[in-house]
Structures are given as C-alpha cells and as structure tokens.
Amino acid sequence: MPVTVRYFAGARAAVGVDTETREAGTLSELVGQIVDAHGERLERVLTACSFLVDGTTTRDRALVLAPGAVVDVLPPFAGG
C-alpha cells in the first residue's frame, strides 16, 4: 500500500527530504522503515514526534494505514 510521508522541521533536517513514498500497512511498520532507511538521527527525533494521518493526530503506532494515506511527521514546534 503506497503511503506518502511528509517531514517537517527537525524531522526534515534528519531525513534530508520533504516527502517520500513508502509501502506500509501500519504506522508502526512505516516508522520501522523510515528509521531503517534514515538512521539514528531520525530515530532520536521520532521519540518526540506526533503524527498526522490524513489530517488526524495520532500517536497510535498500531494504526492501520489506508492505501494512499498521507502521514505527516511532526516534531514539537517552538514558539507561540
């Protein structure tokens, strides 16, 4: 199932790209893939991240991803 992953702020800096496409059935599977692909720096950032899946905030890594889902990786933002 193709899933679009969009990275923001510190996650984008850790990965080096704005967007990529992955094949994953759950958020947990997706997170495993992106950590394997991008390494320890991203893994550290992900400990503080939340995720938007098709516009809905989640931290539930067991969440099943629909084909064509868009997953935003959102580190905490500073400022107000």
Residue-wise pLDDT tens for the chain (80 aa)? Answer: 799 999 999 999 999 999 999 999 999 999 999 999 999 999 999 988 899 999 999 989 999 999 999 999 998 875 54
Rounded to an integer, what distance in angstroms lies between the CA atom of residue 77 and that of residue 19?
Answer: 19
* This prediction's pTM: 0.91
Q: What is the pLDDT of residue 1?
A: 75
Q: Where in the chain are the domains?
A: 2-74
Q: What is the pLDDT of residue 78?
A: 55
Sign of torsion over alpha carbons 3, 17, 30, 76: negative
- CATH T-level fold of 2-74: Ubiquitin-like (UB roll) (3.10.20)
Beta strands in the chain (DSSP E): 2-7, 19-23, 50-53, 56-58, 70-74
**In 3D, which of 5, 32, 30, 3 has the Cα closest to residue 18?**
5
